[in-house]
């Protein structure tokens, strides 16, 4: 694996994540929140309705490594339905609507922080991502860009839903392995 930005040179998933300490950046009212997604070059976030065929084994290693840096993993009900998520060793929070409709995300994140969650890795899906970004609740975005074109009708992109404004992002790092790109964007 090569680090293209910053400070170009050889690296590994382990080396890259060793210095990544999201727990140290928890806020008083919510955990530090990072999103993780994989997409194809044509912007598709699913192939055949799931995300598994998008990324390589290195992408899986990055995801498994990332989870070790976070206290809990969060997904939306749609991702739970599509992907199962039965073998995650982190605490798993599944966001699903209740009798009063959609979950109030600031309240949920505040409760998680009070329970001791300092860093939360949200692994999708696109609808939950849209809600979190619209509410200003995402700090980092990990995006794997697989060197593939998937085509198809209108499978989801990595973010679905309206945003009040365009959100500018900073590219915090960019890694490359066998043509696959691993970007980390920061919102602040």
Ligand X SMILES: NC(=O)c1ccc[n+]([C@@H]2O[C@H](COP(=O)([O-])OP(=O)(O)OC[C@H]3O[C@@H](n4cnc5c(N)ncnc54)[C@H](OP(=O)(O)O)[C@@H]3O)[C@@H](O)[C@H]2O)c1
Q: Which is nearest to 172 in space by CA: 163, 160, 157, 182?
A: 182
Residues with Cβ < 8 Å from 143, sequence gap 6 or more? 37, 38, 39, 158, 182, 183, 184, 185
Among 59, 71, 123, 176, binds ligand X (CB under 6 A): 123
Q: Does 131 bind ligand X (CB under 6 A)?
A: yes
DSSP annotation string for 118-135 = -EEEE---HHHHHHHHHT
Compare residues 19 and 87 and give the one whose CB is closer to ligand X: 87
Among 57, 64, 84, 96, binds ligand X (CB under 6 A): 96
Among the residue ranges 6-14, 110-118, 121-129, 170-178, the one whose residues contact ligand X (CB under 6 A): 121-129
Task: Tell which positions 19-48 bind ligand X, by CB under 6 A.
Answer: 37-39, 45-46
Structure tokens at 116: 């001791």
Residues with Cβ < 8 Å from 31, sequence gap 6 or more? 71, 72, 109, 112, 113, 117, 118, 119, 120
Terminal-to-terminal C-alpha distance of the chain: 26
Q: Does 73 bind ligand X (CB under 6 A)?
A: no
In angstroms, give the least distance from the CB of 27 to ligand X: 19
# binding residues, ligand X (CB under 6 A): 31
Q: Does 17 bind ligand X (CB under 6 A)?
A: no
| Cβ(179)–Cβ(58) below 8 Å | no
Compare residues 22 and 156 and give the one whose CB is closer to ligand X: 156
Among 4, 93, 103, 169, binds ligand X (CB under 6 A): 103
Among 32, 51, 121, 139, binds ligand X (CB under 6 A): 51
Half-sphere exposure of 123 (CA within 13 A, CB side): 27
Give the interface with ligand X as residue ranges (CB under 6 A).
37-39, 45-46, 49-51, 54, 75-79, 82-83, 95-97, 102-103, 105, 123-128, 131, 156, 160
């Amino acid at each position: 694996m090569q680090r293209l930005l910053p400070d170009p040179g050889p690296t590994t998933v382990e080396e890259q994540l060793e210095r990544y300490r999201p727990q140290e950046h928890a806020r008083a009212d919510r955990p530090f929140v990072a999103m993780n997604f994989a997409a194809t070059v044509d912007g598709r976030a699913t192939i055949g309705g799931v995300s598994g065929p998008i990324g390589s084994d290195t992408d899986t290693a990055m995801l498994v490594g990332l989870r070790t840096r976070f206290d809990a993993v969060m997904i939306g009900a749609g991702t739970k339905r599509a992907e199962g998520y039965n073998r995650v060793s982190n605490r798993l929070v599944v966001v699903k609507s209740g009798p009063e409709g959609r979950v109030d995300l600031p309240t949920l994140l505040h409760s998680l922080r009070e329970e001791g969650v300092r860093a939360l890795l949200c692994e999708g899906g696109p609808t939950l991502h849209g809600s979190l970004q619209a509410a200003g609740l995402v700090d980092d975005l990990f995006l794997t860009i697989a060197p593939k074109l998937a085509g198809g009708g209108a499978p989801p992109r990595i973010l679905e839903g309206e945003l009040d404004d365009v959100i500018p992002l900073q590219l915090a790092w960019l890694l490359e392995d066998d043509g696959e790109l691993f970007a980390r964007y920061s919102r602040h």
